[in-house]
C-alpha cells in the first residue's frame, strides 16, 4: 500500500464541564486527507483545499504531528500529504485536531501500524500544540478513537474511552466568525474559587457516570460549566438566546463547543435535535448572523480509511 485516503472527523471538546479533558466525536462533518509514501525522506504538504493554511511542514499541525511520529520510529521514509478541509479553522469543532489525527493515522497505516490508535494521540497532540500554544488532547483523542474520551493526564498521556448512549445526538451551530483557541484561552483566569471547582468536578463525575449508565436525566443535570463558559460566552453572538431556546426545545444541555464560536447541544433522539437546530437557526436569522448547522450522531469509529 503506497497511498491512503482518510476521513478525519470534527469533535466537540470540553462538553461543558470537562475543560481540556472531555471530548466527543462527530459524524456529520470532517476532513479528508490523502497520504502517499514517496522516495524523498520527510514530510511534504503538497495541497490544501477549503482553507488557507500554511503548506510549510513545520508550521502546519498535520506536518508537525507527522514529524513527531516519524521521529519516534526513526524512519527515513517520505510522505506527501494532501488536506481537503471541510472543517473551518477557528470554528471550535476541532479543525486542527482533525488534520493532526488524519496525518498520524494515515502515516501509521502506510508504515504497517507500528502504533495503536491510542498511542497516536501523543503525536497528534504535538501538532495541536502549534495551534493553541499548549498540549491538550481533548480534540485529538476523540478524533482518533471516536466516541467520548476523557484525558486523565497529558503527561504521561492517559486516555479513557467512555461508552456512548445510543440515542445521543449532537447539534452544532457555527456562527461565521473565527475565534482562535489561543485568544479564547487568553480570556480565562488562571485560578478558580474552590466552590466553583467543587461544582464542576461534581458535574464532570456525574456526566461520566451518566454516559456509562445511559442516564439521560443525570446527563442533563450534569451539562453545566461554571468556570469557562461565563468568560467565553461573551465572545459568541447570541449565545444566551441560543442556549435558552435549545433548552426550551428539549436539549439535554447546551454549551460552547471547544473554544468556540460554535455552540453545541446534546439531545436524546433526532426529532428533538431537529427542533433544536431549527430554533438555533431561527435565532441567528433574527440576529442576522451567518451560520452553518450540523446534526450528528456520535461517531464511535473516529479517524478511518475511506
| Distance in Å, CB of 11 to ligand HSE, minimum | 8
The residue whose Cβ lies closest to ligand HSE is 258
How far apart CA 32 and CA 99 sit, in angstroms, is: 9
Q: Return the residue of 15, 20, 31, 302 that touches ligand HSE, per CB under 6 A.
A: 20
Tell me whether residue 15 or residue 169 sits nearer to ligand HSE (CB atom): 15
Active site residue 128: yes
| Distance in Å, CB of 36 to ligand HSE, minimum | 29
**Strand, coil or helix: 293:** strand
**Strand, coil or helix: 267:** strand
Cell numbers at 201, concatenated: 468536578
User: Which residue is catalytic, options 32, 126, 128, 226?
Assistant: 128
Q: Return the residue of 138, 226, 229, 249 that touches ligand HSE, per CB under 6 A.
A: 138
Active site residue 181: yes
How far apart CA 81 and CA 100 sit, in angstroms, is: 11
Closest among 90, 70, 92 to 81, alpha carbons compared: 70
Binding mask 41-60 for ligand HSE (x = CB under 6 A): --------------------
Q: Quick check: 95 binds ligand HSE (CB under 6 A)?
A: no
Burial 89-120 (b: 16+ CB within 10 A, else e): bbbbbbbbbbbbbbbbbbbbebbeeebebeeb
How far apart CA 227 and CA 188 sit, in angstroms, is: 9
Burial class for 121, CB neighbours closer than 10 Å (0-12, 13-18, 19+): buried
Cell numbers at 194, concatenated: 474552590
Q: Quick check: 129 binds ligand HSE (CB under 6 A)?
A: no
User: Which residue is catalytic, options 11, 181, 267, 303?
Assistant: 181
Could you tell me if 148 and 142 are in contact, meaning their C-beta atoms sit under 8 angstroms apart?
yes
Binding mask 150-189 for ligand HSE (x = CB under 6 A): -------------------------------x--xx----
Of 184-243, which residues contact ligand HSE (CB under 6 A)?
A: 184-185
Q: Quick check: 263 binds ligand HSE (CB under 6 A)?
A: no
Of 241-260, which residues contact ligand HSE (CB under 6 A)?
A: 258-259
Active centre residues (catalytic): 128, 181
Binding stretches for ligand HSE (CB under 6 A): 13-14, 19-20, 132, 136, 138-139, 181, 184-185, 258-259
Amino acid at each position: 500500500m503506497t497511498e491512503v485516503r482518510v476521513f478525519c472527523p470534527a469533535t466537540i471538546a470540553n462538553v461543558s464541564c470537562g475543560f481540556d479533558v472531555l471530548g466527543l466525536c462527530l459524524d456529520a462533518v470532517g476532513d479528508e486527507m490523502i497520504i502517499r509514501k514517496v522516495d524523498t525522506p520527510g514530510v511534504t504538504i503538497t495541497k490544501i483545499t477549503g482553507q488557507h493554511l500554511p503548506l510549510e511542514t513545520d508550521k502546519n499541525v498535520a506536518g508537525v504531528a507527522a514529524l513527531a511520529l516519524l521521529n519516534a520510529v526513526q524512519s527515513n521514509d517520505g510522505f506527501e500529504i494532501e488536506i481537503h478541509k471541510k472543517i473551518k479553522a477557528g470554528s471550535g469543532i476541532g479543525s486542527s485536531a482533525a488534520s493532526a489525527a488524519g496525518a498520524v493515522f494515515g502515516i501509521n497505516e502506510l508504515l504497517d501500524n507500528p502504533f495503536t490508535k491510542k498511542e497516536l494521540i501523543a503525536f497528534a497532540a504535538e501538532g495541536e500544540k502549534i495551534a493553541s500554544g499548549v498540549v491538550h488532547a481533548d480534540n485529538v483523542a476523540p478524533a482518533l478513537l471516536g466516541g467520548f474520551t476523557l484525558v486523565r493526564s497529558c503527561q504521561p498521556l492517559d486516555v479513557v474511552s467512555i461508552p456512548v448512549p445510543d440515542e445521543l445526538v449532537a447539534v452544532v451551530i457555527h456562527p461565521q466568525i473565527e475565534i482562535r483557541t489561543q485568544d479564547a484561552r487568553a480570556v480565562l483566569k488562571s485560578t478558580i474559587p474552590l466552590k466553583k471547582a467543587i461544582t464542576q468536578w461534581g458535574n464532570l463525575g456525574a456526566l461520566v457516570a451518566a454516559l456509562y449508565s445511559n442516564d439521560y436525566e443525570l446527563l442533563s443535570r450534569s451539562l453545566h460549566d461554571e468556570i469557562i463558559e461565563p468568560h467565553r460566552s461573551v465572545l459568541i453572538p447570541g449565545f444566551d438566546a441560543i442556549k435558552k431556546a435549545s433548552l426550551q426545545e428539549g436539549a439535554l444541555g447546551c454549551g460552547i463547543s471547544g473554544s468556540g464560536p460554535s455552540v453545541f447541544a446534546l439531545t436524546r433522539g433526532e426529532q428533538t435535535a431537529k427542533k433544536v437546530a431549527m430554533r438555533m437557526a431561527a435565532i441567528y436569522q433574527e440576529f442576522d448572523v451567518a451560520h452553518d448547522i450540523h446534526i450528528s450522531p456520535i461517531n464511535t469509529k473516529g479517524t478511518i480509511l475511506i
